[in-house]
Amino acid sequence: MIAYVTVGADDIARARRFYAAFLPALGYHLTEGPEGLSWMLPVPVGQAPALPDFYVKPTFDGRPASAGNGAMVAFQADAQQTVRDLHAAALAAGGSDDGRPGFRAAYGPRFYVGYMRDPQGNKIALFSANPEEPGRDG
């Protein structure tokens, strides 16, 4: 099980604007401190934490943050419209488009996905695979 994912950022304020445009709609809550941004799902009383947490931090070595080639973080949404809405909100909050929301021939018939880059260049996906919605072929 993945416990957490961390991406680097040189400008925490820009990163906050970008991630605040869609992570709260997916249920994540923000805790911010001198070490950066910590996005976590709520923990119901008496239950184990819902994982993974998502962190946006300055680099530990002090060198500029960089996006990994081939690295991507994907967040699941409940519906195709949610993917479209949150993708647009993230772009308006300083992200860049890396693949408009829609179906992709290379993936399953219900995998609806939009890709973007955060202000640091990290690749982020928003997807829905809701079986109650129309698929690629219908």
Cα distance between residue 76 and residue 58, in whole Å:
25
Cα distance between residue 87 and residue 44, in whole Å:
28
Cα distance between residue 28 and residue 129, in whole Å:
20
All structural domains of the chain, each given as residue ranges with its CATH number in brackets, are 4-60+67-128 (3.10.180.10)
Assess whether pLDDT exceeds 80 at residue 138.
no
Assess whether pLDDT exceeds 90 at residue 29.
yes
Residue 127 has a pLDDT of 97
Cα distance between residue 66 and residue 53, in whole Å:
20
The model carries a pTM of 0.91
Cα distance between residue 128 and residue 132, in whole Å:
11
Residue 70 has a pLDDT of 87
The confidence band for 2, taking pLDDT boundaries of 50, 70 and 90, is confident
